Amino acid sequence: MSHAIQHINIMAIYKDREAFIPYRRPDLIELCVEDGELAPADVEKFRDFCEILSSYYHFQLHQTLEILKDNFVPFNPDADTKLKIEPTSAQQADMEAKLVAAFKVVLERANYVPLSEEMLQRAFLENSLIELKTNVDFEDFEQIVCYYRGDNQKITSVKKLLKNVEKTIETFERVVLLLKFKDATYFASKKGKQKNMNFTPGKMYIYLYKNIPKFDLEFLFPNIKISMTWKDRLLLGIPAIGAAASVVVKIVPQVLLIVGVIWFVFFGKTSFLNFNISEENVKNIMPVMVAALSLVVALGGVGFRQYNNYNYKKVKFQKNVTDTLFFRNLANNASVFGALIDAAEEEECKEILLAYYHLLTSKKPLTPEQLDNRIETWMENKFGTKIDFDIKGPLRNLEGIRGKIIKDGVDSGSTPEIPLLTYDNEGFCNVPSLDDAKTIIDYVWDNAFTYAT
């Protein structure tokens, strides 16, 4: 058996864990320092390395932010600036494709997970906090992108039968939703859809929410149609039937009087004797008018009261939806880009510094699989947090940062570029010292723009 095979380790795969690291970058840096594995002389060097690394990724992801903003221009429903030249349909299609592709990359770099169609359909079939009958017409959309981060459970208080009970709700810590509506031609052909539209056809709407119940995702869609469930209809209908029955009992004499008058007019005076109504009552028009008015007022009162109850219930439902979204909304449209870029920058820097730190301080060489397991174990021991660390991303990023270590400030032109990560013949990872790592990133910074001669 070869030496390389002896060091093969299987990387653990967890279906119930996420790659998201739920701690701030400064806290991770300090935890690495407090770990005691760095030499005292290397502590400030490590902090410097983390600082220059963060600055580099801030610069790099700023370019991605500009790509998102530039391609979002023709689809921005909140735009307050004018375009010098309107893009053609073909150009808009190309801009949309670039925007969505870059958007998905940023989401994945921020450790967001795409929401499967199966999970989205389940959200529309089940209720969690808001019990409503809902309908979302997916035909209205040209593009739907939905990602989440943080799949967990929360205990919340729910009012049932005049008392509050605790209920466990499955929630997403963060939900990002991108919706591109079809153009005006489509909605013009659907005349019923043009009424009360709270969106602009052909535009793109982007939302970032927090703490959204997993089975209330449909309320994030702006074209949602809300109606009452059968339970709510029964709660309104049964009292209405009871009230109507009591009114009918009270107005039976008036109803008989009115029927008797009609019978007398069409069939003669002998025909209505079975109703036990005297001819004198029939000839006196006032009781008939009073009876008719009483009937209209009584039935109208019941109908109006039930109509008001229905409207009150509907307004209450809408308030519940509004409260759910208003207090959980973090950003809309173009502002979502900045929030996601910050999240991606934070996640990538945390992953890289953890990978670099553990390779730097390990007493023995590590394969990618061993490094992945070491970081996951370290996070669980230090923070009590179980994560599924994605080792491929940070190793790829470390390998992609390449720079020169120039001696005496003179580059002969033949100095090779060195990456922050290399592999030996046996597949073990190697990283340069802190001094060399800082020098490599500094070289990358110095050559970010090469306008000067």
The full DSSP string for 187-218 is: HHH-GGGGTT--S-TT-EEEEEEEEEEGGGGG
Q: Are 75 and 204 in contact (CB under 8 A)?
A: yes
- Say which residue the tokens 């370290």 belong to: 378
Q: Are 100 and 68 in contact (CB under 8 A)?
A: no
Write down the pLDDT at residue 243. Answer: 56
Tell how strand 402-403 and strand 329-332 pair up.
unpaired
Q: Which of 351, 340, 448 is nearest to 54 (CA)?
A: 351
Per DSSP, the three-state class of 11 is: coil
Write down the pLDDT at residue 195. Answer: 65
Write down the pLDDT at residue 273. Answer: 45
Tell how strand 113-114 and strand 141-160 pair up.
antiparallel
pLDDT beneath 70, residues of the chain: 1-15, 126-133, 157-162, 192-196, 227-307, 309-311, 313-314, 317, 320-321, 324, 408-413, 452-453
Q: What are φ and ψ of residue 177, in 5° steps?
A: -130, 125
Q: Are 350 and 364 in contact (CB under 8 A)?
A: no
CB atoms within 10 A of CB 432: 18
How do residues 125-171 score in pLDDT, each as one tens digit? 766 555 666 778 888 999 999 999 998 877 776 666 567 777 778 88
Q: Calculate the CA dihedral of residues 155, 158, 163, 166 and round it to 10 degrees.
A: -20
Per DSSP, the three-state class of 109 is: helix
Write down the pLDDT at residue 154. Answer: 76
Q: Are 355 and 398 in contact (CB under 8 A)?
A: yes
Residue 149 Rama label (left phi>0; alpha psi -120 to 50; beta)? beta
Write down the pLDDT at residue 58. Answer: 92
DSSP H helical ranges for 23-88: 25-34, 43-72
Sequence-distant (6+) residues with CB within 8 A of 264 are: 271, 272, 279, 282
* Cα angle 371, 377, 383; round to 5: 125
Per DSSP, the three-state class of 116 is: coil
CB atoms within 10 A of CB 21: 20
Write down the pLDDT at residue 400. Answer: 94
